[in-house]
Structure 1
Amino acid sequence: MLKQTARAMIGSITMMPLVALAATAPTPLSINRALAPRPARVRLASDVFVERFESAPGGRMARVLERAEQLHPGDRLIFVVNWTSNETGDFTVMNPLPHTVAFQSSTDANEEVSVDGGRTWGPLPTLLVRDAGGIWRRAAPDDVTHVRWRVPGRRAATGAGQITYRGVVR
C-alpha cells in the first residue's frame, strides 16, 4: 500500500483551468493555432522527498533528501510544489494528503487545511473534529485531509514559486 501511495505522489503534475486564446482573423495560421493546446494559466509540478539524517565528519549530522521511492512507517516526507504562472491574478494550490501520511507543517503563512475532505478550510488551530465518541475536539495534524494555499496576484506576478510542506508516513 505504501509503495502505491509513493507512486501516486511521485511525479504528479496538475494543471489548473486553461485560459482561452483571443480570436484572430480567419487564416490558416489562426486555424492551426485554434487546434493547438491552450496555454495553462498555472502549472504545478510536485515532488516528494524522504528526509533522513546521517552522521557527518566532525560528529555533525547531515540532512539528506532522497526521492521517495519506497516508504516506510515513520519516514519524514517533504512535499515540494513548484508553480509557474503566465498571469498575475490570484490562484489557489490545493493538495489532498494520502491517508497513509500525517500532515506536519508548511513553510507558507497562506496555508489553510481541511480536516473533512476539502469541505471546510482554515488554519489548523481553528478547526474542530468529532472523535469516535461524538465529542468535538480541536483538530490535530493527524486529522488533516487536504492542504491549500492562496497565492496572491502580487506574488504570482513573479511568474514562479515553490511551496513545501511536511508529512510523516503513518
Structure 2
Amino acid sequence: MPNPIRTIAPIAIPLAAMLCAAPAFAAGPLQVEAKVLTEQKTRAADGTVRVALVPARRIVPGDRVTFVLAYRNTGAQPIGNVVLDNPVPKGIAYRAPAATSAAPDLSVDGKTFGPLASLRVAAANGTTRAATPDDVTHVRWRLERPITAGAQGQLAFDAVLR
C-alpha cells in the first residue's frame, strides 16, 4: 500500500492568528496545494449580503475557516491509490466536510480512521466515550478512482478557531 501524501497547513495559533496557505507539495506528477480560507461578508447597495471565501489573513477565536486541498495530475498517466491526509492544527476544531466536498474519514489519534460515529476517545475516568468533532486530529480522503492525466480537484473541510 502506498504511503499517503500528507499535506499540512502550517498554523501558529495565539488568540489572534495569522494564517498562511501551505506551499504546493509535489510527489512526482501529483501536485497538492493546501489553502486556508475564511468567509468575507460584503453588503451591497441593495442591502443584500454576499459571502465569499478568501485567503485567511487574520482570524480570531470563533472564526470559521475552510481548509482546502487542491490536487492536480500534471503527468501523462493516471495516478491511483491516492490518500490525502490533513492534520487538524492545535487550536482548530473540526466541524464538517465542506458542502462541496466528499465526506472524509476522521481520526482522533492519527492512526485509526473512520466516520466520526465510529470513533472513541479515552475519558478521564479510564473509560471511553464517543468522539466529538472537537476530538478530531486528522481528516483523510481516499480517492476512489485514479486521477487521470491533466485532471484536478479539491477536497475541503470546515473548522473553527477555538
TM-score > 0.5 by shorter chain: yes
Q: Tell me which stretches of 4 or more aligned residues in structure 1 moved more than 6 Å.
A: none
Counterpart AA for 2:34: S
- Which of 48, 54, 75 is the aligned partner of 1:66? 54
Deviation (angstroms), 1:11: 2.6
Counterpart AA for 1:113: L
Deviation (angstroms), 1:123: 0.8
Show the counterpart of 1:51. 39
- What per-residue deviation string (whole Å, max 9, x for no partner) do you get for residues 98-137 of structure 1? 0110001114435101101x11110111111112232311
Q: Which runs of 5+ in 1 are unaligned?
A: 17-39
Counterpart AA for 2:115: P
Show the counterpart of 1:30. none
Between the aligned partners of 1:5 and 1:127, the Cα distance in structure 2 is 30
- Which secondary structure state, in structure 2, belongs to the residue aligned with residue 98 of structure 1? coil
- What per-residue deviation string (whole Å, max 9, x for no partner) do you get for residues 41-93 of structure 1? 42110111111444444443321323112221011001111101232312100
**1:5–1:122 CA distance, 2 compared to 1 (3 A):** farther
Deviation (angstroms), 1:5: 6.6
Between the aligned partners of 1:5 and 1:93, the Cα distance in structure 2 is 25
Identical-residue share of aligned pairs (%): 32
Show the counterpart of 2:93. 102
Please report the TM-score for the alignment, with normalisation by the length of structure 1: 0.74
Between the aligned partners of 1:5 and 1:59, the Cα distance in structure 2 is 30
Query: Is 2:26 aligned against 1:15?
Result: yes
Whichever structure has more helix as a proportion of its residues is: 1
Q: Do the aligned residues in 2 keep the contact of 1:110 with 1:151 (CA within 8 Å)?
A: no
Q: Which runs of 5+ in 2 are unaligned?
A: 1-11
Specify the structure having the higher radius of gyration (Cα). Answer: 1
Between the aligned partners of 2:41 and 2:88, the Cα distance in structure 1 is 24
Between the aligned partners of 1:153 and 1:44, the Cα distance in structure 2 is 17
Between the aligned partners of 1:89 and 1:149, the Cα distance in structure 2 is 13
Counterpart AA for 1:80: V
Between the aligned partners of 2:130 and 2:39, the Cα distance in structure 1 is 28
Between the aligned partners of 1:5 and 1:95, the Cα distance in structure 2 is 19
Between the aligned partners of 1:110 and 1:72, the Cα distance in structure 2 is 27
Q: Do the aligned residues in 1 keep the contact of 2:13 with 2:90 (CA within 8 Å)?
A: no
Counterpart AA for 2:92: V
